Structure 1
Amino acid sequence: MIYIILFICAPYIAKFYHTKEIVLVLRVLSVKIVFSSIATVQHAYVQKHMIFKKFFFSTLGGTVISGVLGILLAYAGAGVWALVAQYLSNTIIDIIVLLITVPWHPKFLFSLERAKALMDFGWKLVFANLINAIYNELRSLIIGRSYSSAALAYYNKGNQIPALAITNIDTAIGTVVFPTMSEAENEERLKNIGRRAMKTTSYLLFPIMIGLIVVSRPLIILLLTEKWENSIIFMQILCLYWMTQPIQTTNWQIIKAIGRSDLCLKLEAIKKTIGIIMVFIAMKLGVIAIAFSAALFGFISMFINILPNKKLINYSIKDQLLDIMPALFASIVMGLIIYSIAFIKMPMVLLLVIQVIVGIISYIAMSYIFKIDSFRYILSMLQEKKLNILGSDHRKKK
């Protein structure tokens, strides 16, 4: 149904952007929706049973093969269709791998009773996620419609690298944590899981975001050349937005694990209403103002997501701020250290390498000196993993 709607609306969307060429591109790209629906239950099965190795192989295989295909088509002069082919082939390979590796397979059966039970909980989450998706695309839509395509490109490119880090770390941790939260026996256990997730994700992501703010100039110029220099300011601003995501995600997962999908929907409606008002105010001031509104909105959303968990599991704003403060403090100090290196005259490649190395060393050193809990937790996990590997090798030799 959604595909049919997009197919029909494609000419009107193209007219909105004054670009006739996207009609066919949109109609072909939208086929992803149909394909993706096939693997939805397999993804849920993998997440519930925590067999994430299957996720890894499906994602890795699809990414590598589709990436090679996209590059080859781009060099062959396929233009935008190289991106379309890469996008769709990634989805198709993901589906094929999951159908082969996951023991559950769909059957041509339907139960209205089961559908009702799922819908009572699920429809609220669907609408909450839909609101979130529409809002996330709204800024790009406004920039693309009200300003130049170049402004949109700079904005999206500045957003791309921090978004990639968040997607690969925060989403991965959240996917693993949610099934564990759902099985928590009581509120205290759920709070402990939430605290561990909060501390770990903030410990890993805060230094990455602050580091990206500091090294954004040499990073973008070296990776994308000087013609993308205008995207530096957007990366720096939007890193502040993405810093709030670990806190937002953990609180969202807690509410969802308790079964309060109604509360998830209410929170999204409140947050996105505020966000839309901020976007429309900012659009009159320019593209940079829109980026700043996104960063400010991230902090507002963070506190809105935190508020219910004081009542639900006694995890207050004060408690959460205390949990993330050690990682935030260490990350800021690390940022100041690597920022000072930029005043030394040296080739840009060497500058970036030194900043990254010094940043990693200084962050680990502060973690050790101040005995940051997440640092010791990660070390213990790595040590346990090492012992398991050594034990497995020893058993194989026997």
Structure 2
Amino acid sequence: MTSSSLAHSAARGALFTFVAQAAKILLQLLSVVVLSRMLTPHDYGLLAIVLVVVGIGELFRDFGLTSASIQAPVLTDGQRDNLFWVNTGIGLILAVTMFFLAGPIEILTGEAQIAGVIRALAALFLLNGLATQHRANLSRDLKFRSLAVIDITAAGIALLVAIIAAFLGANYWALVAQQLTSSVIILAGVTIAGHWFPRRYSRQYSIRELLNFGWNIVATNLLVYAGSQIDTILVGLKFGTTSLGLYNRAYQLVMTPLGQVRSPMKGVALPVLSRVQQDRGRFDSYVTSAQLMLGYSLGIPLALVTALAGPIVKIMLGPRWLAAAPILSLFSIAGLLTTIAFVGYWVYLSRGLGRSLFFYTIVTTAIKILCIIIGSFFGVVGVAIGFVIAPALSWPLSLFWLSRVTPMPTAKLYAGAGRILLATACVGLVAWEASQFVISVGPWAMLAVGVAAGLVTAAVALFLPVYRRDSRNLVAFVRLMFKRSPSTA
């Protein structure tokens, strides 16, 4: 594939992925606004506990084989068939295991309703196992439009089912129905869109190398997951399901939509970076451009959320959720810091550095767990502060670690991150200050004035040559998104 056609595929893939994730974020926000008024913090806290268990199982169920199959320079039909059956088999085993562990988990947590929820959500493992390689094939073939349509459709139908169930008095079962419906729709969608049906497993086609790569990714993801769930576990155990519900709602408002943008972008970045990994100039250019695109496009909204968390919580969740406002601000700051460092993860995967990623993650996970444990001694807000400090410490370490194991445009990444942080800090400070002038008018006025002031500040930054240069690069990339056919090299 030529340089221009690959760049075009990357840009178009980013466009479809952003559109899909923007729609999913809107649906997620709609879910928060509607369901938070129909359900209680206890309902959300109960589901949050179960999803911690589900999340651990999902790491084993995928076994890193999604990344392995996308990253592989060559993947035969036989290998693809074998990967499908491995993912499906693991999913079935985990579904059965989780079903029978429901009773012991109920005794451990002391929540009488949790066993039924666990048994119902055990089906997620099998559904997702069946869908894994279908979805990976679509990503590998750069069929991002199909993935976008599937994701939006699944999220929309699942939300509708949840709202109807909540309206009928299903309580936390409405959230269970939402999870299951989404997985069913995704499985049907990727199966139909891929036009591929696996044959039987055959030892003739070796997948040992893919499994070895996948194991490193599993080990890494387990560490990441442990670090990402330690806060949920500590809040639930130390402060109860109501506090956990508040904490979880703040998380859902920021980190979940953020993950819905960043994680699927891996499906665009990984196949593209894998194809240019031997071309140092193109690789460095793509990585630095990706950091700027993520940093500005996500950083400015995160800065606005940080500054305007109070009115956002009042408008979206209602008065009984006001204690979530400071937590929301802190999550937004953490989201910005992790976004700037996110391209490093793509570099590890695209260059097959699974083992290096694993050892790096051991260190950063230890940092995160330590920060959150210390923060937990100062209450729920203290936990959120620890959540912010961890990426502030880990981000410089990320670039240093990568520079020791692979060629990296380290200086350009540091400089780009510095510009992003300066711009977003100014946007946030001006937005907060402006919102205070209309605090007596109400939350809607605070939100409108704050957002307007923040966006004006971002526009003013374009008077500086360095930001104009970044802007031109991003505009060029956006134009490439909407270009219908790539030019020839």
TM-score by length of 1: 0.92
Match of 2:211 in 1: 119
Match of 2:163 in 1: 71
Instruction: Provide structure 2 residue ranges, at least 5 long, that are not aligned to the other structure.
Output: 1-92
Tell me how far apart the structure 2 counterparts of residues 388 and 224 of structure 1 sit (CA, whole Å).
41
Cα RMSD for the two superposed structures: 2.1
Q: Please, which moves more after superposition, 61-70 or 278-287? A: 278-287
Tell me how far apart the structure 1 counterparts of residues 255 and 319 of structure 2 sit (CA, whole Å).
21
Which residues in structure 2 correspond to 1:299-378 (within 5 Å)?
299-315=392-408, 318-345=411-438, 346-367=441-462, 369-370=464-465, 371-378=467-474
Match of 2:226 in 1: 134
Match of 1:393 in 2: none
* SS across alignment from 1:315: coil
Tell me how far apart the structure 2 counterparts of residues 176 and 149 of structure 1 sit (CA, whole Å).
37
Q: Please, which moves more after superposition, 158-167 or 64-73? A: 158-167
Matched, 1:171 2:287: no
Matched, 1:380 2:472: no
Tell me how far apart the structure 2 counterparts of residues 385 and 277 of structure 1 sit (CA, whole Å).
42
Tell me how far apart the structure 2 counterparts of residues 127 and 89 of structure 1 sit (CA, whole Å).
29
Match of 1:232 in 2: 325
- What number of residue pairs does the alignment pair up? 390
Q: Please, which moves more after superposition, 112-121 or 221-230? A: 112-121
User: 123, 137, 142: which is aligned to 1:31?
Assistant: 123
Structure 1 residue identity aligned to 2:95: Y
Q: Please, which moves more after superposition, 255-264 or 343-352? A: 343-352
By how many angstroms is 1:388 displaced?
4.0
Change (3 A) 1:126 1:110: farther
Q: Please, which moves more after superposition, 208-217 or 145-154? A: 145-154
Structure 1 residue identity aligned to 2:342: T
Asked if structure 1 preserves the Cα contact closer than 8 Å seen for 2:435 and 2:449, the reply is no
Match of 1:189 in 2: 282
Match of 1:84 in 2: 176
* SS across alignment from 1:266: helix
Change (3 A) 1:91 1:167: same
Structure 1 residue identity aligned to 2:258: I
User: 161, 165, 185: which is aligned to 1:93?
Assistant: 185
Asked if structure 2 preserves the Cα contact closer than 8 Å seen for 1:210 and 1:332, the reply is yes
Instruction: Provide structure 1 residue ranges, at least 5 long, that are not aligned to the other structure.
Output: 390-398
User: 204, 210, 214: which is aligned to 2:303?
Assistant: 210
By how many angstroms is 1:252 displaced?
1.3
Change (3 A) 1:14 1:253: same
By how many angstroms is 1:387 displaced?
6.0
Change (3 A) 1:24 1:153: same
Tell me how far apart the structure 2 counterparts of residues 216 and 180 of structure 1 sit (CA, whole Å).
36
Match of 1:8 in 2: 100
By how many angstroms is 1:16 displaced?
2.2
Change (3 A) 1:368 1:165: farther
Structure 1 residue identity aligned to 2:136: A
Match of 2:382 in 1: 289
* SS across alignment from 2:206: helix
| Identity across matched positions, percent | 17
Tell me how far apart the structure 2 counterparts of residues 290 and 253 of structure 1 sit (CA, whole Å).
28
Q: Please, which moves more after superposition, 76-85 or 319-328? A: 319-328
Relative contact order: is structure 1 or structure 2 higher (C-alpha 8 Å, sep ≥ 6)? 2
Structure 2 residue identity aligned to 1:354: V
By how many angstroms is 1:315 displaced?
2.8
Match of 2:61 in 1: none
User: 151, 162, 167: which is aligned to 2:254?
Assistant: 162
* SS across alignment from 1:43: helix
By how many angstroms is 1:115 displaced?
2.3
Structure 2 residue identity aligned to 1:65: I
Change (3 A) 1:37 1:69: same
Tell me how far apart the structure 1 counterparts of residues 140 and 365 of structure 2 sit (CA, whole Å).
29
1:169-218 Cα deviation digits (max 9, x unpaired): 32243321111111113333322211111111111122122111111000
User: 116, 137, 160: which is aligned to 1:45?
Assistant: 137
Structure 1 residue identity aligned to 2:457: S
Structure 2 residue identity aligned to 1:291: A
Q: Please, which moves more after superposition, 356-365 or 76-85? A: 356-365
Change (3 A) 1:347 1:293: closer
User: 356, 362, 376: which is aligned to 1:269?
Assistant: 362
By how many angstroms is 1:47 displaced?
1.5
Matched, 1:143 2:269: no
Tell me how far apart the structure 2 counterparts of residues 385 and 199 of structure 1 sit (CA, whole Å).
16
Tell me how far apart the structure 2 counterparts of residues 268 and 364 of structure 1 sit (CA, whole Å).
37
Q: Please, which moves more after superposition, 39-48 or 91-100? A: 39-48
1:315-361 Cα deviation digits (max 9, x unpaired): 36543220122222222222222122122233321221222233223
Change (3 A) 1:281 1:325: closer
Tell me how far apart the structure 2 counterparts of residues 261 and 19 of structure 1 sit (CA, whole Å).
38
